Amino acid sequence: MDASRETVRLAGRRRPVILDCDPGHDDALAILLAARHFDVLGITTVAGNVDVDRTTLNARRIVDLAGLDVPIARGCAAPLVQPAVHAPEIHGESGLDGYEFPPPRAPVEARDAVTFLVDTLRARDGITLIATGPLTNLAMALRTAPELAGRIREISVMGGSATFGNVTPAAEFNAWFDPEAAAVVFQSGIPLWMCGLNVTRQAGIDPAGIARIEALGTRTSRAMAALLRFYFDRQRDRVGVASASLHDPCAVAILLQPPVISWVPAHVAVELRGEHTRGMTVCDVRHVPHFNPAAVDGGPPRGAPPNAHVAVGIDRGAFLRLIEDALASYP
């Protein structure tokens, strides 16, 4: 490990995490925010925004860019039961359009992502999993080694929504891409954090924010600014939003102190059958005053007990400062 890599992989007792992702512009930011605050034991890639060869290549590019020294393992190429349908209209054909990366140097593990997850989780208790893509790898790992559920500290998911979807009116992309896998994770009994679209759509960056990132003046910040300009244009043109939603770093930010994302306990079920609702995360917020003011006076009866901390609000300014701080910390 060379000295510059050593400086960004800070020693000490930081929370051990594995990041499971499908980079992806916002996944790239999640990697950088996670590595700023946590001990990233590995990055596992999965098919989602683009195919898994491209998401793996993109993970290597981000690790190279920031000078990180983190194992990368290539994961599942398709959802558990349905064919893969990618999202090049948002992230470009490469999955990370907007910047010309040099040839990748970071190696890829000989082990696939599911084996890497199972091996790493068996070797050490109390690991946090942060998932910012479809949940195929995590579902496969839990199916392969169900006993691991009791040893994982928590899973923080960017996916689903407590309100509206993006791929369909009801379903968010990561949950829609592999609903069966999402159901495995939400039924696992592992402590869960869910940052859904209802909050991540509020975590937007506009051209002024991107300019601030560029002005940090580092190699990493300049590259991320170029990437975010592409992503902003696509989000404006294809999604119709006035700022580019930084969905994935929310799944990192919700774990940080002081809190920038607020949450409520709720039961989340993944819809697997509905004609119009397949992939929807059905959040039981009937008893949550944030959604249902009547609940203040008792509200409707509770359903199944909560299985997740569901994000309901974000301090956008503080969140964007976390992003800037992270980007400023890399070469």
Active site residues: 247
Q: Is 24 a residue that touches ligand BDR (CB under 6 A)?
A: yes
Q: Is 132 a residue that touches Ca ion (CB under 5 A)?
A: yes
Which partner, Ca ion, ligand BDR, none, binds residue 166 by CB below 5 to 8 Å per kind?
Answer: ligand BDR
Which partner, ligand BDR, Ca ion, none, binds residue 39 by CB below 5 to 8 Å per kind?
Answer: none
Residue 240: count of CB within 10 angstroms of its CB? 7
Which partner, Ca ion, ligand BDR, none, binds residue 172 by CB below 5 to 8 Å per kind?
Answer: ligand BDR
Q: Is 173 a residue that touches ligand BDR (CB under 6 A)?
A: yes
Q: Is 132 a residue that touches ligand BDR (CB under 6 A)?
A: yes
Which pairing describes strands 204-205 and 244-245: parallel, antiparallel, or unpaired? antiparallel
Q: Enumerate the β-bridge partners of residue 204.
A: 245
**CB of 176 within 8 A of CB of 145?**
no
Q: Is 24 a residue that touches Ca ion (CB under 5 A)?
A: yes
Q: Is 248 a residue that touches ligand BDR (CB under 6 A)?
A: yes
Contacts for 14 with CB less than 8 Å, ≥ 6 apart: 37, 38, 39
**CB of 206 within 8 A of CB of 243?**
yes
**4 φ/ψ sector (left φ>0, alpha ψ -120 to 50, else beta):** alpha
**How far is CA 165 from each of CA 79, 174, 219, 280, 282, rounded to the nearest angstrom?**
19, 10, 35, 7, 11
- Please give the size of the binding site for ligand BDR, defined by CB under 6 A: 15
**CB of 268 within 8 A of CB of 307?**
yes
Provide, rounded to whole angstroms, the least separation between the CB of residue 24 and ligand BDR.
Answer: 4
- Please give the size of the binding site for Ca ion, defined by CB under 5 A: 6
Which partner, ligand BDR, Ca ion, none, binds residue 90 by CB below 5 to 8 Å per kind?
Answer: ligand BDR
Instruction: Give the sign of the dihedral formed by CA 34, CA 185, CA 165, CA 84.
Output: positive
Among 133, 196, 204, 209, the residue binding Ca ion under the rule CB under 5 A is 133
Question: 26 or 178, CB closer to ligand BDR?
Answer: 26
Peptide bond into 24 cis (omega under 30): yes
Provide, rounded to whole angstroms, the least separation between the CB of residue 324 and ligand BDR.
Answer: 20
* Unique residue bearing structure tokens 């994935």: 248
Q: Is 204 a residue that touches ligand BDR (CB under 6 A)?
A: no
Provide, rounded to whole angstroms, the least separation between the CB of residue 7 and Ca ion.
Answer: 27
Among 131, 158, 184, 326, the residue binding ligand BDR under the rule CB under 6 A is 158
Element (H, E) at 244: strand 244-245
Binding site for Ca ion (CB under 5 A): 22, 24, 27, 132-133, 248
Binding site for ligand BDR (CB under 6 A): 24, 26-27, 49, 87, 90, 132-133, 158, 166, 172-174, 247-248
